[in-house]
Each structure stands twice: as structure tokens, then as C-alpha cells.
Amino acid sequence: MSALRFTKDHEWIRVDGDTGTVGISDYAQEQLGDIVFVDLPDVGKSLAKGDEAAVVESVKAASEIYAPVNGEVAEVNQALADEPAKVNTDPMGEGWFLKMKIADAAELDELMDEAAYDAYLESLR
Amino acid sequence: MDRSQGRKSRTETELDAVMTDDSAETAIGHRGLQLEETLSFEQGSPDRCGVDLPDPPKTGNRLGGLARKEAIGLPGLSEPQVVRHFTRLSQKNYGIDSGFYPLGSCTMKHNPRLNERMARLPGFADLHPLQPESTVQGALELIDTLAHWLKTLTGLPAVALSPAAGAHGELCGMMAIRAALEARGDSREVVLVPESAHGTNPATAAMCGYRVETIAADDGGRVDVAAFRERMGPDVAALMLTNPNTCGLFERDIIEIAEILHAGGGLFYCDGANFNAIVGRVRPADLGIDAMHINLHKTFSTPHGGGGPGAGPVAFSEALAPFVPLPYVVHDRDGYRLVEHADDASGTPFGRLKAFHGQMGMFTRALSYMMSHGADGLRQVAEDAVLNANYLLARLSPTVTPAFPGTCMHECLFDDRFLKGTGVSTLDFAKALIDEGFHPMTMYFPLVVHGALLMEPTETESKATLDLFVEAVESLAERARAGEVAYFQGAPRFTPRGRLDETAAARRPVLRWKEPESAEEAA
């Protein structure tokens, strides 16, 4: 079963078994503008929910990407080192940041599903 | 009315003709006095040289295998070529000496020429840092007098003058805080920083080995005191706050914040970047501050950047005074002397930040500014800076959307709601201001405001200049509302280069000059 969840800080996590792929939403990439640099964590690093998982730098600003849940970094998207633009062109697909082994699947329930996230975005506009 | 900055040098018709008429292309591509400027390496030629050097005497080569085999790679240029190259480059620059520069959070004020004259006096300019103290008594007195002014203006009892810039001053302040905490056996790990802080604040805290946590802002753009009270605990080493903050607002609750912090055993660092708004009016000591750096290039009119050395002195409270770094000047009946060693110090200095004593040229300029203004003059600086910012805020509020209600301090902050639905971004708007002959405001900072435009006029500017700027902003806003998106996206036009591809520059930076491979590439 694969489920997509969002945080209030505009990260998404797509769950597949006990692994989650993490990236930033289309709204987030649009707000950041052209992304020029992505700093990814080491594989094996354990992250608590809300910890800084990655750093993303755009022409406007540098921002942190936070871990949506507790877990351990299983894989990072090395392609972003050469082509950070992927975050802009395909934020929900090829522009993923990292995969993490989710410590406690129950934490996912605290995040928003797509409909709830859309409603949340609407409230920001 | 002085409109020298905005007066058209040609009629609209003439200008339109030049800008749109392709047949106006000149034979060699120059446009009158607007010349293309290639790099000195591209201008150089091996058959030219600016100096006549005598042939070296015939001696044996003692370099062995170390003798250079390739050409040294210096461009061959005549003296007039060099002079023209650098003069033309300087003409492409825009500085406070060329026009209005409302870059928020930077305090781009006029650098009085009196400062320059004083800094060039040989008794200050031609010293060697290792000269005997007896021969530099005047310079030491100047350093001591500057320290006295800074102590008086901040109300704080100690000053470190050696830090070389604002961020270096922050480092100095946080190192003193760390030293004070360690001296009492306290190993606190967290530094709290408000959302709207200057980027250097969290960087400094991290560099000092602290974990940075952010304190939210309230709806009014100030620190959320309840959130701060909630977070304050025995693990908090310090709070780093800017007052007025980067939204251009005075942190009204600062005394309460200081009390909560001190009651919890933390120390209070204040970023003095915005001191220009309160100098002579508010003493940081009275706000409960333990350490604050002062950017001499902002508040005290020494030049910004330009590759020269800067100065970011730090003032300290009683609690931190014993840890002030070396060296510092003391004064007794035998005259002035530098305390250079920890053994001679009255306290326990945390170390040394620079090889020597700080930037004498900046000290001289800053003291010249202080003494020529006097206490009343400095008070008026703050008043006029705040008045100018509020004038801009009031004049622009009907057109550009203010980020927060009410008055501001020395800078006024707008968001991009006024551009909503126009297709024009804050970036486009700033680029179009370049065509109007102004340096743009700070944009997209502070991050807490969407599409931020932060303007700091400083006390330097006359009402006439501000009116002209308002006129430019108003007419641009009008154009944006009229749907002239293409006009904005094509800006700037009246510059040697048009819109640069900032993204490509960041993603694929070219950091080294390469010889052009072909004629087309060179063109």
C-alpha cells in the first residue's frame, strides 16, 4: 500500500511498506523559486521528527527540509547534486530528496492527506 | 526641487528612438560613451608594457629545476589602458556616492568626506602596528576615546574594538558568552534566535558550537513573548535578538524578554545592525543587553565593503566585561598603553581575535563622525532616519502593501500583496527600479514576510529624493496593475547588461577566466 502524506512545512512523504520517500511539495518549490543547491544527509543518519533532514538553497533563500517522521536515512537522491532543478521541474517525482526507514508508522496519521493539504494551502492564499 | 537623480538627459522621443531603432547600431558596437569592457587579460598583448625595465645583468641561473618554464601570464598593457580599464569599471558601479540606495538592513548612509580627511592624517594613517607605544600615544588616545563614546552610547562598561566586521563582532560576543558560562561551570547548549533574525545570528551560534532553535514571531512581526517564555529553560545559553528587528519594528517587550532570559540564567546578545534607529535615544544597557556589536560602517558612516578592512566593535555588560578579548587600551598617569597579554589583564580574556589592534582607519572615521555630530547630532541622526522611513511608509502605504500595521523605525517593510494577480514578482519590480536610476530595496528578506520589499532610506536623504523615489515606485505599481508584465520581465534595460540569469550563475558558476576559443565565443 502506498500513501502520500504532507506536513505543514510543505514536505511530502510517500509510504511504501516501512520506507518513506521524502520531498517538497509543488507549492514549496514555487515559493522557493529556482533551486540551485541541495545538501543531503548521510545514509544511516537517524532523524527525529522535525529534525533538519536536508538543506535547499534557491536564488531567494536557504531553507531546511525537516524529517516528517522519526526514522533512519536509507537512501538519498544523488542526482540532485548535479541537477537541483529537478526539484522545480518534478517536485513530487524525480525531485525527491531522501528515503527513510520509518520507525513508527502510527506517526503518519498525524500528517495531512492530499485533500487536507490542499485545504491547508487554500487557507494560506 | 532637486531632481538631479531623476531628470531625463534626453526627451522621451529621443530616448524611445534610440532604444527601439535597430539602425542606430554603431559600427563597432559601442553606444557613444557606453563602452564594452573586456577583462584586462583579453585586452593585453605581449608587445605592450606599461613600464621600461632595464635588461637584467647577465648572471648565472641559480634556480635549478625551479625556473619557470611557461609565460608568467600577466597581460601586457600600457598605463593609459590600465587607467581607462579601471575608470570604466568604476563607472559601471552604483554606490551611495552615485545615488539613492535604500537597501534595507544595510544603512547605506553618506560617508562624510571629513572622515576621509581625518583618516589620512599621517599620525593615524602611517603607523606600524609594532611601533613603540611611546610614539603612538595619539593613536592610542583615539582608540580610547572611541571606546569611551561607544560605552557612553550603549551604556555598557566594556568594549572590544578588534573585531573586523559585524559578523566577527557577533562571534566575539558569543565567545565571551561561552567563556562566561564555562567560567561558572555551566554547559548550556542552546541559543534561541527569532524567526526574523539576520542570517549571521544562527550561523554565529552554530560556529560557537551551540544548537540553534527558532522563536516564532507574533502577528505583529515581533518576538512572541509567550513562546519565548515557554521555551526558556536551563539549557538556554543565550538569546540573539536584533532591536529594532529586521521588520523595522522596535521590540517593545525587550525588557520583559531580558528579565525572563536572565531569571533563567541565560545571557542576552543583541545584534546592533540596526543601531542607527536608536543611537543617542536608547542605551542598550537599559534594555538588559549583555553584548552588542556595532557596525561602524552602518551607524557611524565608515565605508561599506570595497575590499577594505571593516570594524565591528562589541560592547559588554558587567557580567561579560572580565572576558573581553585582548588587546585593549588602558590609561594611567604614564599615558596610554595596550594590554596585550592575559597576565597583564584585569580579568580573564577569552583570547584574541586579530593579530593586531583593529582597523585604525575605521576607528578614525567613526570617531570623526561622532565628534563632528556631537551627542545632539547623533540623536538627530536616529530621529531623522526614523522620520525618513516613516515618510516613505506613509507615502507608499496607499500603493504598496505594508507588511504590518502602524509606524516603523528606521526601515519600512512591504509585502507583495499589491502585486497579486499582476504576474509581476518582487524581483521584477526591483529590476524595474534599476531603470528608474535607483538601487533596489532589499527583497525577499526578512523571510517571515511574503515577497518582502525592505526599504531603509537613512537620514542622509532629502525629502526631494524620497519624493522622487515615491514617484518612481508609484508609477511602477501603476504599470504593474495595468498588466504590463513584459515591461517588468524585460527590466533592466538601461544598464550595460540586461537581466542576468541568476539561476544559471548559481548552478553553473564560472569562477575562472578562460581564453576564448574562437572569435564567435569572444564576441
> In this model, does residue B7 exceed pLDDT 70?
no
Residues A61, B447: C-beta atoms closer than 8 Å: yes
Q: Are residues B232 and B316 in the same domain?
A: yes
Q: Which is higher by pLDDT, B200 or B6?
A: B200
Check residue A65 and give left, alpha or beta (phi > 0: left; psi -120 to 50: alpha).
beta
Q: Are residues B457 and B425 in the same domain?
A: yes
> In this model, does residue B180 exceed pLDDT 70?
yes
End of a domain among B352, B370, B388?
B370
Return the DSSP state at B103.
Answer: B
Per-residue pLDDT tens for A61-77? Answer: 888 899 999 999 999 99
Share of chain B above pLDDT 70, in %: 95
Q: Are residues B385 and B473 in the same domain?
A: yes
> In this model, does residue B23 exceed pLDDT 70?
no
Q: Which is higher by pLDDT, B65 or B31?
A: B65
B465: phi then psi, degrees, rounded to nearest 5: -65, -45
Q: Which CATH number belongs to the domain containing residue A75 in this structure?
A: 2.40.50.100
Confidence of residue B6 (pLDDT cuts 50, 70, 90): low
What is the four-CA torsion angle of B369, B370, B374, B377, rounded to 10 degrees?
60
H/E segment holding residue B159: strand B158-160
> In this model, does residue B523 exceed pLDDT 50?
no
Query: Please, what is the angle between helix B166-183 and helix B200-207, to 10°?
Result: 40
For B331, the grid coordinates are 590609561
Q: Supply the pLDDT for residue A38.
A: 95
| Cβ–Cβ < 8 Å for B310, B296 | yes
Residues B444, A60: C-beta atoms closer than 8 Å: yes
Return the DSSP state at B122.
Answer: H
Q: Coil, helix or strand for B184? A: coil
Instruction: Please check whether residue B167 lies inside any domain of the structure.
Output: yes
B451: closest CA of chain A, how far (Å):
9
End of a domain among B339, B370, B401?
B370
CB-based contacts of B413, cutoff 8 Å, min separation 6? B104, B221, B247, B248, B402, B403, B404, B446, B449, B452, B453, B454, B455
Residues B503, A84: C-beta atoms closer than 8 Å: no
Residues A36, B506: C-beta atoms closer than 8 Å: yes
Instruction: Please check whether residue A112 lies inside any domain of the structure.
Output: no
Instruction: Please check whether residue A15 lies inside any domain of the structure.
Output: yes
> In this model, does residue B522 exceed pLDDT 50?
no
Put simply, whether B58 touches A (Cβ < 8 Å) is no
Confidence of residue B19 (pLDDT cuts 50, 70, 90): low
Whole-Å CA distances, B285 to B256, B281, B370? 14, 12, 20
| Cβ–Cβ < 8 Å for B379, B402 | no
Residue showing cell 557613444: B32
B86: closest CA of chain A, how far (Å):
30
Instruction: Please check whether residue B505 lies inside any domain of the structure.
Output: no
Residues A59, B503: C-beta atoms closer than 8 Å: yes
User: What residues does B215 pair with on adjacent strands?
Assistant: B194
Q: Which CATH number belongs to the domain containing residue B379 in this structure?
A: 3.90.1150.10
Instruction: Please check whether residue B317 lies inside any domain of the structure.
Output: yes
Q: Supply the pLDDT for residue B309.
A: 74
Q: Residue B159: give the domain boundaries.
A: 114-370
Q: Are residues B139 and B275 in the same domain?
A: yes
Instruction: Please check whether residue A74 lies inside any domain of the structure.
Output: yes
Portion 417-456 of B in contact with A at CB < 8 A: 444-445, 447
Whole-Å CA distances, B128 to B132, B145, B307, B463? 9, 20, 20, 44
A34: closest CA of chain B, how far (Å):
6
List of chain B residues whose C-beta atoms are within 8 Å of the C-beta of residue A64: none
So what's the ipTM on this one?
Answer: 0.78
| Cβ–Cβ < 8 Å for A53, A42 | no
- DSSP state string for B195-241: TT--THHHHHHHHTTPEEEEE-B-TTSSB-HHHHHHH--TTEEEEEE
- The pTM of the full predicted model, rounded to 2 decimals, is 0.88
Mean pLDDT of B97-117: 95
List of chain A residues whose C-beta atoms are within 8 Å of the C-beta of residue B502: 34, 59
Q: Coil, helix or strand for A4? A: strand
User: What residues does A58 pair with on adjacent strands?
Assistant: A35
Question: Would you say the C-alpha torsion A35, A37, A43, A47 has a positive or negative sign?
Answer: negative
Mean pLDDT of A13-33: 94
Q: Are residues B415 and B344 in the same domain?
A: no
Q: Which CATH number belongs to the domain containing residue B173 in this structure?
A: 3.40.640.10
CB-based contacts of B442, cutoff 8 Å, min separation 6? B103, B104, B105, B106, B452, B453, B454, B455, B456
Q: Which is higher by pLDDT, A20 or B13?
A: A20
Q: B304-307: which pairs have CB atoms within 8 A and are 24 or more residues apart?
A: B304/B96, B304/B106, B304/B108
> In this model, does residue B451 exceed pLDDT 70?
yes
Per-residue pLDDT tens for A81-123? Answer: 999 999 999 999 999 999 999 999 999 999 999 999 999 999 8
Q: Are residues B322 and B253 in the same domain?
A: yes
Instruction: Please check whether residue B87 lies inside any domain of the structure.
Output: no
Per-residue pLDDT tens for B147-161? Answer: 999 999 999 999 999
List of chain A residues whose C-beta atoms are within 8 Å of the C-beta of residue B199: 62
Give CA–CA dist B111/B106, Å, rounded: 14
Instruction: Please check whether residue A25 lies inside any domain of the structure.
Output: yes
Q: Residue A38: give the domain boundaries.
A: 2-103
List of chain B residues whose C-beta atoms are within 8 Å of the C-beta of residue A34: 502-503, 506
Confidence of residue B65 (pLDDT cuts 50, 70, 90): confident
- DSSP state string for A78-93: THHHH-TTHHHH-TTT
For B479, the grid coordinates are 504599470
Mean pLDDT of B454-458: 97
Give, in degrees to the nearest 5, the angle at Cα B31 between B94 and B485. 65
Beta strand A46-47 with A71-76 is antiparallel
B108: closest CA of chain A, how far (Å):
22
Q: Are residues B163 and B311 in the same domain?
A: yes
Mean pLDDT of B175-197: 95
Mean pLDDT of B95-112: 94
Per-residue pLDDT tens for B320-375? Answer: 999 999 999 999 999 999 999 999 999 999 999 998 999 999 999 999 999 999 99
For B49, the grid coordinates are 608594457
Residues A61, B502: C-beta atoms closer than 8 Å: no
User: Domain tally for chain A?
Assistant: 1
Put simply, whether B501 touches A (Cβ < 8 Å) is no
Instruction: Please check whether residue A119 lies inside any domain of the structure.
Output: no
List of chain B residues whose C-beta atoms are within 8 Å of the C-beta of residue A84: 507
Q: Supply the pLDDT for residue B1.
A: 47
Q: Coil, helix or strand for B416? A: helix
Put simply, whether B508 touches A (Cβ < 8 Å) is no
Return the DSSP state at B252.
Answer: T
Instruction: Please check whether residue B236 lies inside any domain of the structure.
Output: yes
First-to-last C-alpha distance (Å) of chain A: 32
Q: Are residues B384 and B290 in the same domain?
A: no
| Cβ–Cβ < 8 Å for B448, B247 | yes
Give CA–CA dist B176/B316, Å, rounded: 9
Q: Are residues B387 and B359 in the same domain?
A: no
Put simply, whether B502 touches A (Cβ < 8 Å) is yes
| Cβ–Cβ < 8 Å for B449, B436 | no
Instruction: Please check whether residue A13 lies inside any domain of the structure.
Output: yes
> In this model, does residue B313 exceed pLDDT 90?
yes
Mean pLDDT of A34-45: 94
Instruction: Please check whether residue B523 lies inside any domain of the structure.
Output: no
**B445, B447, B506: residue with CB nearest A59:** B506
Q: Are residues B396 and B428 in the same domain?
A: yes
B502: closest CA of chain A, how far (Å):
7
List of chain A residues whose C-beta atoms are within 8 Å of the C-beta of residue B503: 34, 36, 59
What is the four-CA torsion angle of B267, B268, B272, B275, rounded to 10 degrees?
-140
User: Domain tally for chain B?
Assistant: 2
For B272, the grid coordinates are 546592533
Per-residue pLDDT tens for B218-272? Answer: 988 999 999 999 999 999 999 999 999 999 999 999 999 999 999 999 999 999 9
**A59, A61, A62: residue with CB nearest B502:** A59
> In this model, does residue B18 exceed pLDDT 70?
no
Q: Are residues B294 and B401 in the same domain?
A: no
Per-residue pLDDT tens for A1-22? Answer: 468 999 999 999 999 999 999 9
Whole-Å CA distances, B490 to B99, B112, B428, B497? 23, 37, 8, 12
Q: Are residues B364 and B393 in the same domain?
A: no
End of a domain among B319, B342, B370?
B370
B157: closest CA of chain A, how far (Å):
37
Give CA–CA dist B188/B192, Å, rounded: 12
Put simply, whether B19 touches A (Cβ < 8 Å) is no
Instruction: Please check whether residue B18 lies inside any domain of the structure.
Output: no
Instruction: Please check whether residue A80 lies inside any domain of the structure.
Output: yes
How many C-beta neighbours within 10 Å does residue B441 have? 29
Residue showing cell 567613526: B366
> In this model, does residue B146 exceed pLDDT 50?
yes
